[in-house]
Structure 1
């Protein structure tokens, strides 16, 4: 087991709430997370309310149930999303709820499922949740995508390990890349964000005409348009609230 795991997980939840989506007083929060990550989910809920959230909605994810649905649901149901799902998506968009997505599922969770059935349902869900997707893409609300360690994914990342050993190894990497190993992860992220903003400001001042990439097997030049804009790690809502759409993030 990871030393001080519960303490690190609590720091992770705090980071997600305070830096990832930067929950504001009176703001609703919606959390998308696997049923296998209950401990982290409860910590995030606790941190969100302490930050002033008006309500925290949990959208539990269960790949087993989703596989069974995709295998057995009628064609009509695959292509028609119930109205309550549409209304909930619209509510999230209208209230500008902070959206936290915790990714942990097996990348091959839907292997063997008819791809046409998956595509039909994805298209229907995309249409039904158009309003909340648009709000997210436009940064009308704060949102973040983070990771958690589940066994199936962990064993793919660390094929030489099995079970808890693989899970622990993946958690260690997640904690490392999200700076949970620092004394004050929230402060460390603010410093990291500032550094990336400084880099993007410098690139904007230079206004290079092109980027030239060279390696033993690569020699490519990518032209850049006039008045192009580089951005740092953090994004902003129209109200000026900064959030991190992805953690970890290292690029501009």
Structure 2
């Protein structure tokens, strides 16, 4: 019988060798909360075994961050340690690989003034923008995985004991990342092939527009003229194939910046910067959010939309079937990495240059001319459900069914 330690070891190895695909003599940067220290050590060992020349750990602590947001003078929230931002950018420039370990606590900031959180978030995003461009344009191999902390597991399984919660969440992670498969690497190869077949089908179709119809949603999204559908894996400029999200169930592309019209309603809660936004509807006119109403987290939603001009426009649209393994688990994870792969979703904010033809080589002016949206944020929120219907609309206006009852036709 395979033990918990066996699966944890498999998870670390899958992250390093398949998700991140660490190359010989490459520096690996692990960006992580201190609560994940035991897993970080396991990942570091796997990285060195895979040939990494160095492992750099960028530690963080969400509780200390919350204390700063609550008690520091506002002037401090408008200042970011540039040595940290410049260091990350320098590592990216020199070809490092980046592993981000996400351990969300969606209630951490609920008693902190959203204005202070927004100021700090914008300051950090501006300071780190140069580094983030390396990730958003796939110039480096990077990966996002999650780790069950006490706070996160309590949110997902509130009716279980502390020990049972953590173990149950680990079981879900092992299952949804295919770690519990007999051969996880082969399972991922098959999964990537299946997603790629959907990607290729959509790229062959060249739809001009998508129409989403569901409870509270009647939304038209025009796609960028040179849009490319992308799934599962990406390839860096230097030829390294990597899978940036584990788990992943999506096929996604770039909307045209000014081409979204109608209303969309969220179908799952959004955990954003330590706060929860839930039951919200957005109305778009010519690409821009002109109305935003939330049952929970209205002020946080407003601050997010006011981050900068691009925050009110879409940067991504993604298709995920309702029968995805994450959706079928029947759980709300309060973690976008998981919840976005349970549901069709869209993202407010920055577009990914690699989701249009030749986008990574375009100048800012060329990107702008091709429908690209620029923003400090990129925030996915979930809109899919068992009632979701999606039509693809061709250049000549022909409608073709893509999703019915939440799943691929």
Q: How many Å separate the matches in 1 of 2:187 and 2:164? A: 28
Q: Does the CA-based 8 Å contact 1:18-1:186 persist in structure 2?
A: no
1:199 correspondence with 2:205: no
Q: Counterpart of 1:241? A: 240
Q: How many Å separate the matches in 1 of 2:130 and 2:147? A: 27
Q: Counterpart of 2:175? A: 176
Q: Counterpart of 1:7? A: 6
Q: Counterpart of 1:66? A: 65
Secondary structure at the counterpart of residue 231 of structure 2: coil
Q: Counterpart of 1:34? A: 33
Q: Counterpart of 1:155? A: 154
Residue-pair matches, total:
251
Aligned-pair CA distance for 1:96: 2.5
1:50 correspondence with 2:23: no
Structure 1 range deviating more: 24-33 or 220-229 = 220-229
Q: CA RMSD in A?
A: 2.2
Aligned-pair CA distance for 1:72: 2.2
The 3 A distance-change label for structure 1 pair 228 and 177 is: same
The 3 A distance-change label for structure 1 pair 125 and 169 is: same
Which protein is richer in strand relative to its size?
2
Q: Counterpart of 2:132? A: 133
In the TM superposition, what whole-angstrom CA distance separates every residue of 1:20-64 from its partner, at most 9, and x where no partner exists? Answer: 111111111111222222221111101111111121111222222
The 3 A distance-change label for structure 1 pair 3 and 110 is: farther
Q: Does the CA-based 8 Å contact 1:93-1:131 persist in structure 2?
A: no
Q: Counterpart of 1:80? A: 79
Higher relative contact order (CA 8 A, sep 6+): 1
Structure 1 range deviating more: 115-124 or 38-47 = 115-124
Q: Counterpart of 1:117? A: 116
Q: How many Å separate the matches in 1 of 2:178 and 2:41? A: 21
Which protein is richer in helix relative to its size?
1
Q: Counterpart of 2:347? A: none
In the TM superposition, what whole-angstrom CA distance separates every residue of 1:84-129 from its partner, at most 9, and x where no partner exists? Answer: 2133122222122211111113111122112222222222212222
Structure 1 range deviating more: 93-102 or 215-224 = 215-224
1:231 correspondence with 2:233: no
Secondary structure at the counterpart of residue 5 of structure 2: helix
What 5-or-longer segments of structure 1 have no aligned partner? Answer: none
Q: How many Å separate the matches in 2 of 1:104 and 1:199? A: 30
Secondary structure at the counterpart of residue 144 of structure 1: strand
Aligned-pair CA distance for 1:197: 1.2
Q: How many Å separate the matches in 2 of 1:245 and 1:149? A: 19
Q: How many Å separate the matches in 1 of 2:100 and 2:51? A: 19
Q: How many Å separate the matches in 2 of 1:140 and 1:234? A: 13
The 3 A distance-change label for structure 1 pair 116 and 225 is: closer
Aligned-pair CA distance for 1:202: 2.1
Q: Does the CA-based 8 Å contact 2:232-2:248 persist in structure 1?
A: yes
Q: Does the CA-based 8 Å contact 1:34-1:105 persist in structure 2?
A: no
Aligned-pair CA distance for 1:177: 0.5
Q: Counterpart of 2:405? A: none
1:97 correspondence with 2:96: yes
Q: How many Å separate the matches in 2 of 1:225 and 1:244? A: 24
The 3 A distance-change label for structure 1 pair 88 and 228 is: closer
In the TM superposition, what whole-angstrom CA distance separates every residue of 1:164-207 from its partner, at most 9, and x where no partner exists? Answer: 11111111111110001111212211221122112211222233
Q: Does the CA-based 8 Å contact 2:85-2:131 persist in structure 1?
A: no
Structure 1 length normalisation: TM-score? 0.90
